Amino acid sequence: PSQNPALPALFDLLLKDPQQEVVDAAMEMPGPTIYKALYVENPTLEPSSTVQGEHSDVIVTVPVTQPLRSDLVCEQGCPSSDRFMSLSIEVPVGYVLLTSTGIQNLDGFPLSTRGEWWQIRYETFRTGSFDRRIGTIVAEIDQQNETDIIEPKEYRFRVSVINPPSFVPRWNFWTVRLCSAAECPAGSAIASFAAVGYKFGSVSSATTPAPAKSGAALRGALVAVLVLLGLG
């Protein structure tokens, strides 16, 4: 909502029968805190391999379009603890996160550089008669950032995985979360962003990502290919 930001966001849930009579209800359920200035766009993925069962270095790009405060400003009363404490990347069912490499910060996102600053965990969810095992990698955000500003930039992270060996995940998307707790536990996500998963057997990018400002190089490579083909 853009008006009356100081008022709490409350929701009523009504359960009605076919005659539209209310048979149960939950009233005045508190809604999520509404923040402003979350200038982050949906992330994208660039895998080094799209072959099932193979190792793949996946570049997860998170675009920040304007300066982003790590101590949050919100439209309605924020808890004083609401600041970015961690970043998590959740992979779909069937992927195996490689613990030897963890997460590589390629563009200077303000992650902590102390000891065990990242961790990998798995959680199992029951869906019908099937168990879904989902892996998440969590990295702590640096709390010594004097300016409390995350500069606008396309931030890239390299995550190493083993692709699912024999199936395509039904829910084939990766999730990036910014959380207000150090280990990004359930309920601490301030913002969540979905990245569409890649198709197996599709054309993949190189293992080593191109520099951030690579538009001219890409155009030059394309011209070279066209010349070789006699199309230039």
Alpha carbons within 13 angstroms on the beta-carbon side of residue 55 total: 8
What is the C-alpha to C-alpha distance for residues 154 and 209, in angstroms, rounded to an integer?
A: 13
Under 8 Å between Cβ of 8 and 78: no
For residue 60, give the amino acid letter: V
Q: Output 204 or 200, whichever has higher pLDDT.
A: 200
Contact 204, 47 (CB under 8 A): yes
Q: How far is CA 119 from CA 35, 58, 66, 116, 222, in A?
A: 27, 17, 28, 7, 40
More confident site: 108 or 149: 108
- For 3-41, how does the pLDDT look when each residue is reduced to its tens digit (9 = 90+)? 444 455 678 888 999 998 989 988 888 766 655 667 788
Q: How far apart are CA 182 and CA 84, in angstroms?
A: 9
Q: What is the predicted pLDDT for the residue at 159?
A: 93
pLDDT confidence of residue 203: 56
C-alpha–C-alpha distance, residues 140 and 181, integer Å = 9
Average model confidence (pLDDT) for the chain?
75
Mean pLDDT of 44-72: 88
pTM for this predicted structure? 0.69
Q: Is 56 within 8 Å of 47 (Cβ atoms)?
A: yes
